[in-house]
């Protein structure tokens, strides 16, 4: 009798009320030009180019992981424009709940859209902090603080002193 009840439960048609409606995502097209009407800068490069820049900047980094074979370099102005239109920095910092790694993951997710997902952009973890970086069209490495949208051309003391992992 018990097996029949289980069989009936799984084989009976479900009512319309119990059905979960499909989730429909509206995908916005990726921008192809900046607000000043100039085309966005995208310079295609191979993984070796990106790796060599990172390795030259951080020769003692124990782990450098590149997930793709090719990347696109964008301008600092394009990256700043993206940050200005991204709400990640508007979130409230909460210790152990929404801290530096969460801001970094959030910004990474925001950049994971067509038109931006191929840029040479990654994450650096140290013993003290997690933050972003990108390589511009001239091959310059920039550091990004996702909590404030600040962009630095030099390592900041609060970043920490010991790189644990670099990933793109």
- Which domain range does residue 69 map to? 40-167
Q: What is the pLDDT of residues 19-35, one digit of tens each?
A: 555 555 454 555 666 66
The answer to whether position 89 is within a domain reads yes
Average pLDDT in the 37-60 region? 93
- Residue 38 has a pLDDT of 74
The answer to whether position 14 is within a domain reads no
This prediction's pTM: 0.80
Closest-CA residue to 135 (of 74, 86, 70) = 74
Q: Can you give the CATH number for the domain in which 100 is found?
A: 3.30.460.70
- Region of poorest pLDDT, from 66-70, 72-76, 86-90, 141-145: 86-90
The answer to whether position 2 is within a domain reads no
The answer to whether position 137 is within a domain reads yes
The answer to whether position 52 is within a domain reads yes
Q: How far is 81 from 91, CA to CA, in rounded Å?
A: 18
Q: In this structure, what token pair is assigned to residue 108?
A: 């990474």
Q: How far is 5 from 150, CA to CA, in rounded Å?
A: 61
Average pLDDT in the 65-84 region? 94
The answer to whether position 131 is within a domain reads yes
The answer to whether position 93 is within a domain reads yes
- Burial letters for 51-87: b for 16+ Cβ neighbours within 10 Å, e otherwise? bebbeeebeebeebebeeeebbbbbbebbebbbeeee
Number of domains in the chain: 1
- Residue 73 has a pLDDT of 97
Percent of the chain with pLDDT over 90: 69
The answer to whether position 144 is within a domain reads yes
Q: What is the pLDDT of residues 76-131, one digit of tens each?
A: 999 998 999 889 999 999 998 899 999 999 999 999 988 899 999 999 999 999 99
pLDDT at 158 over 70: yes
């Amino acid at each position: 009798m018990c097996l029949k009840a289980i069989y009936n439960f799984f084989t009976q048609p479900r009512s319309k009320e119990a059905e979960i409606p499909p989730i429909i995502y509206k995908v916005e097209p990726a921008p192809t030009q900046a607000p000043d009407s100039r085309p966005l800068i995208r310079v295609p490069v191979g993984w070796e180019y990106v790796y060599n820049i990172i390795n030259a900047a951080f020769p003692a980094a124990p782990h450098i992981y590149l997930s793709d074979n090719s990347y696109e370099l964008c301008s600092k102005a394009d990256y700043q424009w993206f940050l200005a239109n991204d709400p990640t920095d508007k979130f409230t910092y909460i210790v152990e709940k929404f801290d530096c790694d969460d801001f970094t993951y959030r910004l990474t997710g925001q950049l994971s859209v067509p038109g931006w997902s191929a840029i040479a952009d990654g994450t650096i973890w140290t013993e003290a902090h997690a933050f972003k970086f990108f390589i511009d069209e001239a091959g310059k490495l920039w550091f990004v603080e996702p909590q404030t949208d600040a962009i630095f051309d030099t390592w900041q003391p609060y970043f920490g002193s010991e790189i644990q992992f670099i990933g793109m």
